Chain A
Amino acid sequence: MKVLSFFLSLYLIGEVYGEEQKVIYQYKKYEKFDLGNLEVKGQLIAPGDISVRERERRRFELDLYSRKDFDAFIRKDVESLR
């Protein structure tokens, strides 16, 4: 009896492992959406006018380029002579 139950346990363990190995995941290769037939449940609302709440915006001023010297021009002038 002991021998029989031992072999039965071995068989059951083998079956469990075997099943785990057989799992195959498949992904949908193609799916079609018919947007025209989609229904959204709820109440349709739209703003009557475009309005902005009046407020001070946090400003991040960009550092715009402003020439501070003509060093490159000085070098170029000297080079232009010979």
Chain B
Amino acid sequence: MKAALAILTLALTLPLLADEGKKKPFSAALFEKKYYFSALNEFFVETHNREIINDDLKLLEDLLYYTGIELLEDYDSDLLRKYPTSSTRFILGRQALQQKKYKDALDLFMKIHPDHRYYPEGKLLEAQVHDQQGKVSERGEAYGACVSAAEKSAKEAKTEKIQRYYVMVSEICQVNKARHLFKIEDYKASLDAYDKIPKKSYKWPYLLLEKAWVYYQLGDYNRTLGLLTTYKSPLLSTYFFPEAEYLAALSYFRLCLYEDSLTIINQFYQVYRPRFQALDSVLKKNRHSQSYFFNLMFRPEADLKTQEDFVRQIVIRMKKQTRFSLDFNAIHKLTLEEKRIAQTEKPLIRSKLLPHLEEVKSNMMAKINYNSKTDIFQFLDSIPFLSQELFKLNLEIISRKKDLVYMNKRLIADRGRGDYDNVKRSRFEQFWTFEGAFWADELGDYSLGLKSNCQTLRNELKEEE
């Protein structure tokens, strides 16, 4: 009996001993030491050629929580398909959307779990797919789901940064609704949708230009000009949009205030355009550099000194993007992990882990370099188009002036410069006169009170004395 009991005890303990004796996977050991980036790489090395079990998927999701999913962009999509998690589906869906494989993209986005942290952003991308397929009601539903899921996640967020990210996603979905309403020319509904974005939002300064276009299409040129005036406030000095200059000149033109329109056109040609051209020539010299634009994000160089303001403004705006924060944060975490490994691990481990980390870091820096280069050149590329449009506007003003001469007429010029009667406002909008100072609570609510100058008078012939 004793022998039987001994055998039974041995039989029960052996598997436990075997488990303890079994070597823990290297990726799990690295995860325990909080070397998350190294662990992620080892995880794929260990699992890519074997069957994936639920524990693998759980470990992958845990790792991606710390590293972020940006690194997965560099992995082969066939490899990622082996790991059916919400994070990998999100990345693969994004890639399918970029490759215009809309059916695949939709399948992948639909499979993201509603409690997953990428669900709201997945809904935003899902709406893009529906938009490309022309499915209007599905697009609306996806945006609605995006807003409510992002708001819920923002309330439950543990840190301020995460909360800010969800607020941003929610606002982009809300703004996209307004943009689609603008496209179908439902301007009033579009304005209502824009008004749901609070003034303290990071997106708000960008939306002033869009709202100004909505008012322009409604024919309220005074409100358009008032909204664009907001960009002149010191608080928004980093927000310079050439399109805002064009829209202001166009609005003055529609009010037949030709001299005001010409003032803006001349300012653009004499002040901004030469600076843009100089900036363009300096930046184009470095367009193939792998680090120039990355460095520019932190320290504008001496040869950009005269155009420094513009560069600084663009750089500040780019630094406020979620994408930059995520990439820069990844670089920071990678550097910390490298330091810890260099200080605490044995040479064999160091030589195994550090080269990979260095490579990942260099890829992230190249990504920031590429993104900042793209953003800067997209900004500069918009200049020739707007410059050409301003030139056309200039020609049209000259033509209108010639018309007046040929028809022996003149514009009604004895108007007052502005009047409250010319200000259109809804019953929810307040009115204060502008006293030469920008008040934060008034920003975005300005309207000019200019009377249209399009009425013409006939010139009377002067009788010879």
A and B found bound together: yes
Q: Which single residue of chain A is at the shortest CB-CB distance from B386?
A: A65
- Is A68's CB under 8 angstroms from B183's CB? yes
B121 at the interface (CB under 8 A from A): yes
Q: Which residues of B contact A57 (CB under 8 A)?
A: 402-403, 406-407
Q: Say what secondary structure dominates the interface of chain A.
A: loop
- Is A81's CB under 8 angstroms from B403's CB? no
Counting chain B CB atoms within 10 Å of each CB, which of A61, A81, A82 scores highest?
A82
Q: Which residues of A contact B399 (CB under 8 A)?
A: 59-60, 62
> What is the total of A-B residue contacts with beta carbons within 8 Å?
76
- Is B408's CB under 8 angstroms from A54's CB? yes
Bound Cα distance A74, B396 (Å): 32
- Is B168's CB under 8 angstroms from A81's CB? yes
Contact of A80 (CB < 8 Å), options: B70, B323, B407 = B323
- Is B322's CB under 8 angstroms from A56's CB? no
Q: Which residues of B contact A78 (CB under 8 A)?
A: 124-125, 128, 172
A65 CB to nearest B CB, Å: 5
Give chain A interface residues in 15-65, CB to chain B under 8 Å. Answer: 52, 54-57, 59-62, 64-65
B361 at the interface (CB under 8 A from A): no
Bound Cα distance A81, B402 (Å): 50
Known: A52-B405, A78-B128, A78-B172. A70 touches B182 (CB 8 A): yes
Known: A52-B406, A64-B250, A78-B124. A69 touches B183 (CB 8 A): yes
- Is B395's CB under 8 angstroms from A82's CB? no
Q: Which residues of A contact B131 (CB under 8 A)?
A: 74
- Is A74's CB under 8 angstroms from B179's CB? yes
- Is B210's CB under 8 angstroms from A82's CB? no
B213-231 Cβ-contact flags toward A at 8 Å (1 or 0): 1001100000000000000
| Number of chain B residues whose Cβ lies closer than 8 Å to a Cβ of chain A | 39
Bound Cα distance A65, B326 (Å): 37
Known: A70-B210, A74-B176. A81 touches B121 (CB 8 A): yes
Q: Which single residue of chain A is at the shortest CB-CB distance from B213?
A: A67
Bound Cα distance A70, B183 (Å): 7
- Is B406's CB under 8 angstroms from A80's CB? no
Contact of A77 (CB < 8 Å), options: B172, B213, B250, B403 = B172
B394 CB to nearest A CB, Å: 10
Contact of A62 (CB < 8 Å), options: B179, B322, B395 = B395
Q: Which residues of A contact B408 (CB under 8 A)?
A: 52, 54
- Is B406's CB under 8 angstroms from A82's CB? no
Bound Cα distance A56, B407 (Å): 6
- Is A73's CB under 8 angstroms from B179's CB? yes
Q: Which residues of A contact B175 (CB under 8 A)?
A: 77
- Is B172's CB under 8 angstroms from A82's CB? no
B34 at the interface (CB under 8 A from A): no
Known: A64-B392, A65-B246, A81-B168. A59 touches B403 (CB 8 A): yes
The contact sample of 24 A-B pairs, CB cut-off 8 A, is A52-B406, A54-B408, A59-B399, A59-B403, A62-B393, A62-B395, A62-B396, A64-B250, A64-B389, A64-B392, A64-B396, A68-B183, A69-B179, A69-B183, A70-B179, A71-B179, A74-B131, A78-B125, A78-B128, A80-B323, A81-B168, A81-B169, A81-B172, A82-B69
Q: Which residues of B contact A (CB under 8 A)?
A: 69-70, 121, 124-125, 128, 131, 168-169, 172, 175-176, 179, 182-183, 206, 210, 213, 216-217, 246, 250, 253, 321-323, 326, 389, 392-393, 395-396, 399, 402-403, 405-408
